[in-house]
Amino acid sequence: MDFDATSSNIVSLPFVAAARAASAPAPGRFGHLFGCSAAMQEVYRRIQKVAPTSATVLITGESGSGKELVARTIHDRSAFARAPFVAVNCGAIPANLIEAELFGYEKGSFTGATRQHRGCFERAEGGTLFLDEITEMAPEMQVRLLRVLETGRYARVGGEVDLHARARVLAATNRDPLQAVQDNQLREDLMYRLAVFPIALPALREREGDAELLAEHFLQQLNAAEGTAKRYSRQAIMTVRTHRWPGNVRELRNAVQRAFIMADDVIEMDFAGLACAEPVGTCLKLPIGIPLAELERQMIYATLDHCDGNKRRCAQVLGISLKTLYNRLTEYQSGAAVATT
C-alpha cells in the first residue's frame, strides 16, 4: 500500500485513481461483488461457470458476507437477467403464511383472502427466485418446496389448477448445511436438490486485502452522494486492515457510514469509535460509555454468532420473539445502507 507523500496522516490507496476514472470499472468489481483476494476470485470463477446454466445453487456463508449479492450477480449474468429477481427471507415469514407467500392463494381460500394473490414463484416467472435463510423454513414446507423442484409444478392455496414453476431457484444459509441436516433444520433430500452447485462465500477476515478495498469503495459512494471529498487517516486504514470484522461486509459498511458522519475531512476509525466487543470466553467485554443501542446491537450479533447463525435459537436465548430479532437485524442492515450498484 502506498501513502500520500503530501501528508503523513492521509492515506492514498493505489486503486483510488482508477476507481475515480469515469471510463474505468471499479477495481475488484464482479457484478454486485467487490474483492481481489484469492478467495473471492474462486467465488467469481464458480459464478461464471454456473450463471449461464439453469442449475439450482446453494450459497453458504456467514451473516453479512454478501450471499444475496452473489445471487443477484448470478441472476444478472444468466439468461434470466431481463426477468424478475425475487428474494424471500424464509425465516422472516411466519410458518402459517409462507405457503401462501411462495405459491400464492385464491380469493376466499381463507379468512382475509379477499382477492387472488400471486406467490413468489409466480412473480419470479422466467427469472430467479432467491430463498434466503432456507434452514429457517418449516420442515413441512421444505417437503412442498422439494416437490415443486422435482416436478416443476405447484398450486395456489385453495386452488385446483396446477401451475408451472418457471423460475430458477437459488438458496442461501448462514449455517453449515450438513450440520443443519443433523440438527433437523434442513431435509437431506432438499439439501442435495438445492446444492446441485454449491458456492461457499468466505468471511471478510478470510479475504486478504479486501477490507481496505471495500472501505474505499463505500467511502467513494458516500463522497459522491454527499458531494464531499473525505479521506481516511493512516490509522483508520490500519484499523480496517487489522479488525476481524465478525459482522463481515455489513459491519464494515456500517462502520464506514458512522465514521463518515462523524468526520469533517479526515476519517478516523479507531476501535473505541467502532465500539467493538471483545469476546472473553462466552462473555463480551465492552467499553464503558457505549450507547445502549450499540450495546444491544453488539449483543445480538455476538449471540447470533454463538448460536452458529441459528436465528430461532438466538431469539430464544435473548428472550425476544423471532420477529423482533429479524426487525432488529433489518434495522442494522438498512440503517447505514450504501448501494453497491
Residues 95, 56, single domain; the answer is: yes
CATH of the domain at 314: 1.10.8.60
DSSP state letter for 173: E
Q: Which domain holds residue 167?
A: 31-202
Are 41 and 190 found together in one domain? yes
Question: What DSSP state is assigned to residue 10?
Answer: B
What CA–CA distance (Å, rounded) separates 105 from 158? 6
Which band of pLDDT confidence, cut at 50, 70 and 90, is reported for residue 69?
A: very high
173 in a structural domain:
yes
Residue 82 and residue 228 in one domain: no
Q: Please choose, from the candidates 197, 54, 69, 61, the residue with its C-alpha nearest in 3D space to the C-alpha of residue 128.
A: 54
Domain count, the chain: 2
What torsion do the CA atoms of 261, 264, 267, 271 make, to the nearest 10 degrees?
A: -60
Which of 157, 177, 202 terminates a domain? The answer is 202
In a domain, 37, yes or no: yes
CA dihedral 80, 84, 89, 95 (to 10 degrees): -110
Predicted confidence band of residue 162 (pLDDT cuts 50, 70, 90): confident
Do 193 and 214 belong to one domain?
no
On whether both 71 and 138 belong to a single domain, the answer is yes
134 and 267 housed in the same domain: no
Q: Which residue is associated with the grid cell 432467491?
A: 130
Judged by DSSP in three states, 245 sits in coil
153 shares its domain with 228: no
Same domain, 61 and 191: yes
d(CA 57, CA 80): 15
Q: Is residue 314 located within the same domain as residue 210? A: yes
One domain for residues 192 and 168: yes
> pLDDT digits over 82-126, tens only?
999 999 999 888 877 888 889 988 887 777 777 888 889 999 999
Last residue of a domain, one of 202, 221, 253: 202
Residue 10 has pLDDT above 80, yes or no: no
Q: How many helices and strands in the chain, by DSSP H and E?
A: 15, 13
Residue 156 has pLDDT above 70, yes or no: yes
Residues 86 and 169 in one domain: yes
Q: Is residue 8 part of a domain?
A: no
Radius of gyration of the chain measured on its C-alpha atoms: 22
Give residue-wise pLDDT tens across range 302-334. 888 777 778 888 888 888 888 888 888 877 765
CB-based burial label for 191 (10 Å; 0-12, 13-18, 19+) = buried
46 in any annotated domain = yes
Domain boundary among 167, 183, 202: 202
Q: Look at residue 270 and tell me whether its pLDDT is greater than 80.
A: no
| 180/303 same-domain check | no
| C-beta separation of 167 from 125 below 8 A | yes
Give the C-alpha separation, 270 to 108, whole Å: 58
Pair 269, 239: CB distance under 8 Å: yes
| 21-25, 60-64, 112-116: least confidently modelled range | 21-25
With vertex at residue 177, the alpha carbon angle to CA 328 and CA 51, rounded to the nearest 5 degrees, is 90
Over residues 289-301, the pLDDT tens digits come to 566 777 788 788 8
Residue 286: predicted pLDDT: 66
